[in-house]
A and B are shown apart, each in its own frame.
Chain A
Amino acid sequence: MSSLLKILENEVQIAALAFMGLVYSVRLAWVFRFKIGRDRTLPAGSGRSGTGYSLMSIAMPWAMESTRKRPGRYVEFVVFHLGVAAAIAASFIIPYGPGLFETAWVRASFQALIAAAGFVGLVRLARRLTDPVLRAISSPDDYFSLALLIFWLAAGVLAAPNRPQAGEGPLAAFFGLTAFFLVYVPFSKISHYLYYPFTRIYLGRALGHRGAWPPAAAKAAGARPAGEDAA
């Protein structure tokens, strides 16, 4: 392995990660700068249960009409995000635990998952380019982030065998893109996962407090039905 690739797999990644962590810290401070009021009403349900339900809705495709009616989109979502998680894991496994990828089935599973995510990415990009509704709401960042992810996932599939002796191109591409990602992500829509807990917690807390979430709370055995304040 060339020293350049070694630096790219280690020092560059660490520097990019540190940068990302720094920007995210500033970003979180920015979020907390905005004020949030206290709810002065008596609860009809539990803010905590509502929050739990809201956060768990990601794993309950039946809970939302939008995913219930389009199960294919939900499968895409799961595959895409699992593939991205696998590619992130690969970016650590290759430099710090290469032994894991020496087991053929482990490596193949990672490659399959990352490849599937790349394929979903292509489907999503095609949809974004051709569906007039998605086109109308898309920004350059939406296209660029998706295209970049597709390239990165493709590079991840090729890099997984971790054979620099057979040519350093795939590894250099994968780690080069990973470093670029780490720097770019906090400024792009890909950082949506940073906001996800916030949106979900605030919505869940508000609707939980009102007894609207979880939906079955009113029917729970022994529970006071929502909306019926004690005298």
Chain B
Amino acid sequence: MSLKTNWRYLLQIFLSFFKIGPVTFGGGYAMIPMIEREVVQKRKWVKTKEVSEIFAIAESVPGAIAINSATFIGYRLAGVKGAIIAMTGVLLPTFLIVVALSILFLFIKDNPFVESAFVGIRAAIVALIAFAAYKIGLTAIYDKTTLVITILTAAILYFLHIHPVLIIVGGIGLGIAVVNVKKLLGYATRLDRNDK
């Protein structure tokens, strides 16, 4: 591949992901069908089977799923350069929009109408977070152990104020330990909800 077409290819990757960002409100999961349409159906860069594998991994590693998927696809298409370009493409529009909204918010937040609107919005944000807990709970809680871990985590955070980062890191070790201890005791653990 000549240097010139290489740059054109990178630009195409950048633009594909740049387009996806600004139209997907409501978090990363909203971007998944958009990414699929762009890279599978339109560009034919990746096959459907591969892209679902990419989404599965994007979900398992730390970070936002949309950004992770873009980075992963970028890497598959054009190596490290592709990964960086795709990540920048997906991040840049939302970055600019959020900065614009932050500036706007600083200007209007003392307006009495905005103040009263935000009193109501804060209650809705609690509902949004509670709903996120409900949705992830559907896949996370399916036996006694996972139920106990969930309740303990919320209680420990509320009463003991341990840093959440420690709790998350602890969660990795705890998961591995619990599965192995149960195995030693002769119990099988279903590793996710759909395991038979």
Are A and B subunits of one complex? no
Q: A residues within 8 Å of B by Cβ?
A: none
